[in-house]
Amino acid sequence: MADAARQPRLRADAVRNRAAILLAARKLIAERGPDVGMDEIARAAHVAVGTLYRHFPTKTDLVGAIMADLGAQLVAVLDAAVARIDNGVSTGMDEIAALLRRVVVHMGQDRLLRAAAASAGSPLPDEVARHARDTLAHMVAAARRDGALHPDIAVDDLALLMATAPGEETPQPERERWVALALRALGPSRSG
């Protein structure tokens, strides 16, 4: 806490520059992969290369900041899902389906997420991973209570599905089909 109090407050233009750098980096890395050059990112952000390096001395620092931002976005999405379940607005299975669609159909195009998940360099922060796991457990429990989820399905199964889901190299209609098949497999068994 004392360190945070001693850090100088960023000027408004520095805050704007940092946000522009993060936005440009996220866009370029999502489009072209994590090997995009820092000078290209600076150009796309309309800042000098020195400005970029003042904010992010290394590519690892930059990717780490993007991952922290993505983690914060993920926490917000998951918290909203839990609130909808708890308020009776949607079911656990509805939220599992929405999360799978978000990860596979929409985020499947984001090379940064795939590259970061594959490398140990900039994973999501531990607290985000724990929060995601707890939220998935909440969704699983709610879906089980409703009888909408196969009784053998566990949080690890959902994590495995998301980790092995098709990525941007797979055309979107096929990713959508993958989600439909996965949801069918997650559902309760049909006997008789």
Q: What is the pLDDT of residues 67-93, one digit of tens each?
A: 888 888 888 999 999 999 999 999 999
Cα dist. 37→23, 53, 56, 124 in Å? 15, 12, 13, 22
The CATH number of domain 1-57, selected from 3.30.70.250, 1.10.1740.10, 1.10.10.60, 1.50.10.20: 1.10.10.60
Structure tokens at 159: 């994590």
Q: Is the pLDDT of residue 56 over 50?
A: yes
Which residues of the chain are in CATH 1.10.357.10 domains? 63-191
Q: Is the pLDDT of residue 183 over 80?
A: yes
Q: Is the pLDDT of residue 113 over 70?
A: no
Which residues of the chain are in CATH 1.10.10.60 domains? 1-57
**5 against 49, higher pLDDT:** 49
What is the spatial distance between Cα 172 and Cα 180, in angstroms, rounded to a whole number?
Answer: 12
Q: Is the pLDDT of residue 111 over 60?
A: no
C-alpha distance across the termini of the chain, in Å = 61
Contact assessment for residue 54 and residue 75, using Cβ atoms and an 8 Å cutoff: no
Structure tokens at 99: 């999360």
- The pLDDT, as a whole number, for residue 105 is 75
pTM for this prediction: 0.76
Helix orientation angle between 92-101 and 172-186, rounded to the nearest 10 degrees: 150
The CATH number of domain 63-191, selected from 1.10.357.10, 1.20.1250.20, 1.10.287.1080, 2.60.40.10: 1.10.357.10
What's at 38, amino acid-wise? M
Structure tokens at 62: 């930059």
- The pLDDT, as a whole number, for residue 108 is 57
In this prediction, what percent of the chain has a pLDDT beyond 70? 83
